[in-house]
Chains A and B, each alone.
Chain A
Amino acid sequence: DADVTQTPRNRITKTGKRIMLECSQTKGHDRMYWYRQDPGLGLRLIYYSFDVKDINKGEISDGYSVSRQAQAKFSLSLESAIPNQTALYFCATSDSIAGRYNEQFFGPGTRLTVL
């Protein structure tokens, strides 16, 4: 969905490096999410934010941190990357206000490889 953008789209880094993945949205949604996808494991929630001051850990938050800089921006950081964080990362948004039953809109994904 072009309304949700992620940068970078691909990144190769080394163990121990700090990495930031960024997500921006123009949909005006209040809620934003970070997921990772591994083959055979589906999507797992890392962090979610229901508004700028409300950030919550998901299922697999260890080793990750997030920042909600504005309603439209939600970044994910790996302070010290490790190889098992190699995955496809997705940002998503949803709108609680319009009563859309939590339908989520996904970005194109960032493929991260940690060597």
Chain B
Amino acid sequence: SQQGEEDPQALSIQEGENATMNCSYKTSINNLQWYRQNSGRGLVHLILIRSNEREKHSGRLRVTLDTSKKSSSLLITASRAADTASYFCATDQGGYALNFGKGTSLLVTP
């Protein structure tokens, strides 16, 4: 069954604003990953955070992980129209395939 659950399901912001989406999961993990999907296309890996890490940055992306709360957040700073996409968290419990959440749909308007 799906491990991660993203929140909110949909988010609409204006260019230049920050976008924050959250992911909660149920069981212990080795790492948590975030993926982006442009409409109808394949998913693209954005960033991975290991279970012993608390925060990670990649360009305009900032990911946090709180294993005590079994939650993660993805922050996109200074959003652009090109950031419009669906964002999925995926958990790796070790040795098996990833478990994907249902995604957050982000709309960035000019």
Contact = CB atoms under 8 A, between A and B. Distances in A.
Give the most central of A4, A59, A102: most B CB within 10 Å.
A102
16 contacts: A41-B102, A42-B88, A42-B101, A43-B88, A45-B98, A48-B96, A48-B97, A90-B42, A101-B50, A101-B92, A102-B30, A102-B33, A103-B33, A103-B48, A105-B45, A108-B41
Contacts of B50: 101
Interface of A: 1, 4, 33, 35, 40-45, 48, 58-59, 88, 90, 92, 101-109, 111
Interface of B: 1-2, 30-31, 33, 35, 40-45, 48, 50, 88, 90, 92, 96-103
A109 B40 contact: yes
A1 B44 contact: yes
A31 to B, nearest CB: 8
A109 to B, nearest CB: 6
Contacts of A90: 42-43
B88 A109 contact: no
Interface centre among B43, B102, B103 (most CB of A within 10 A): B43
Contacts of A41: 102
Contact of A111 (B40, B92, B99): B40
B1 to A, nearest CB: 7
Given A48-B97, A59-B1, 6 more contacts: A40-B102, A43-B43, A44-B100, A104-B35, A106-B43, A109-B41
Contacts of B102: 40-42
B2 A101 contact: no
A75 B96 CA distance: 19
